[in-house]
Structure 1
Amino acid sequence: MTAGTKTLTLLRHAKSGWDDPALRDYDRALNARGKRAAALIGGYLRSGGAVFDHIIASPALRVVETLAQVETGYGRTLAPEWDRRIYLASAVTLLDIVHEFSEDSARVLLVGHNPGLEDLAMLLVPNSDEPARVALEAKYPTATIAELAFEGSWADLAAGGARLVRFVRPRDLDPALGPEED
């Protein structure tokens, strides 16, 4: 399966707390709003029939907890591969990881952090005035998914080589989760 349509779904971890100044950034947990938003995104993925051949994620606590909440809304067990390189990775590092994906996987979910995820999406999706691309450029809030599609192999994915199929923020599904500090 070297050619054909591939789908890369990027999920930014949900809103985490800064309550304990003694905690390392890596160990920050989700706050109540983040848990709600992640479960909502999971329900959205389920209702849209999203299926993933492979899930790869940062092992930071807020990502682990995000996926647990997404699982609740999604209604299925997710079995991510934890990859420490994703923690606070740059777009270039994330693209290197994408290039390593098995060609047997056509639909991959990558869960991580900003600014790397946003920068990766902006790198892969050509600039345009399409509403989803404009929203992506404005801000990539917590618990937001960007679904990118492209033709070809993971190893060949390059700048400008994908199209943005959807960009869904928690506030798009529940206005109560709208701007505060995303």
Structure 2
Amino acid sequence: MSSASKEKTLILMRHAKAEEGHGKPDHDRELAPRGRRDARAAGKWLHQEGLVPDLVICSTAERTRQTWEEACHGGAHTEFVEFRRSVYVGGSEQTLETVREDGGDTTTVLVVGHNPTMAQLTSLLADGEGSREAHEALGRGFVTSGLAVLRYAGEWADIDLGTCELLRFHVSRGHED
């Protein structure tokens, strides 16, 4: 079986709830307390679902870095994390290009990014294919700590619009301790 026919998983995650800006540069905004709880809940969900990324591609923004860090405290795990400015400054096409370039031989890639890019990229990649329930959930909004799980068959270098199926859309919400 060649790697081209190997099924791959792409998980697109929107960062958790961030603090208000209040004079702080957008790139430096940190997670709000609720965001930290939600990100830990996302990590727990990823762990429970057996979704273990071979590679995490994370925006360079502080809130996305903290989202992945808190997800790891919740049980998420990966061997490799790449921080990419393209995921922070770029839109759907630039983020997709980063996945093409960084994906390599991995089977599961998770991108921690921002809206509207995460929502647009999910819709463009799946183009209505996959779980109706997942598409309906996505249609209600790609809110903070949202996770879209997509299936793709092919090489990462060839991933393109309309080549994936949306399997799941999950919103993680933590509870106050």
Q: Match of 2:157? A: 155
Q: Match of 1:166? A: 168
CA contact (8 A) 2:92 2:118 kept: yes
Residue 121 of structure 2 corresponds to residue 90 of structure 1: no
Structure 1 residues 75, 163: closer, same or farther in 2, change over 3 A? closer
Equivalent in 11, 14, 24 of residue 13 of structure 2: 11
More strand by share: 2
Within a 5 Å distance, the mapping from 1:8-47 to structure 2 comes to: 8-18=10-20, 21-47=22-48
CA distance in 2, matches of 1:14, 1:75: 15
TM-score, length-normalised on structure 1?
Answer: 0.87
Instruction: Report % sequence identity.
Output: 35
CA distance in 1, matches of 2:159, 2:31: 32
C-alpha deviation, 1:76, in angstroms: 4.2
Structure 1 residues 98, 134: closer, same or farther in 2, change over 3 A? same
CA distance in 2, matches of 1:65, 1:78: 17
CA distance in 1, matches of 2:70, 2:79: 10
C-alpha deviation, 1:155, in angstroms: 1.7
CA distance in 2, matches of 1:75, 1:169: 15
Q: Match of 1:106? A: 107
Q: Match of 1:180? A: none
Long gaps (5+) in structure 1: 178-182
List 4+ stretches of structure 1 deviating above 3 A.
Answer: 75-79
Amino acid at match of 1:130: R
TM-score, length-normalised on structure 2?
Answer: 0.90
C-alpha deviation, 1:49, in angstroms: 1.3
CA contact (8 A) 1:122 1:137 kept: no
CA distance in 2, matches of 1:79, 1:70: 14
